[in-house]
Amino acid sequence: MEKIVGVHLLVELYGCDPSLIADAEVFKEKIEKIAKEAELTVLKSYHHQFHPYGVTSLMLLAESHLFVHTWPEYNYIAADIFTCGDERKAYKALELMIKEFKAKDIKKIEIKRGIFKEECVKVSP
């Protein structure tokens, strides 16, 4: 039997509503709502406004991290979602991002992180 440490999703969202991803204040409200509804524990967050538009958001999570970069001129979001423990949280965050930003198409790469055979997992004293 295998055990994993977490799941890492590398995501591209296409056809997003540019009015939701151009301004840091609007984006921050949405991405923090997504984190809360996905039951992610935000330890620290930073949201940077690019000019004339575009946002980068970094969220340090107790579960790992959520990094998001927006290009409203292309209706595009690139996201990096890594959660340890309950991997359903990463998928919930992705589902909410698709809904909240009105993405019309997505590309996703899923990486299972820290795959161990159950008998290989040992705790050092």
Give the residue numbers marked as catalytic: 64, 69, 84
Residues in CB range of 9: below 8 A, 6 or more apart: 79, 80, 81, 82, 90, 91, 94, 108, 109, 110, 111
For residue 85, give the amino acid letter: G
For residue 66, give the amino acid letter: L
The two three-digit tokens of residue 10, written as one number: 């590398």
Minimal CA–CA distance to 34: which of 112, 91, 86, 106? 91
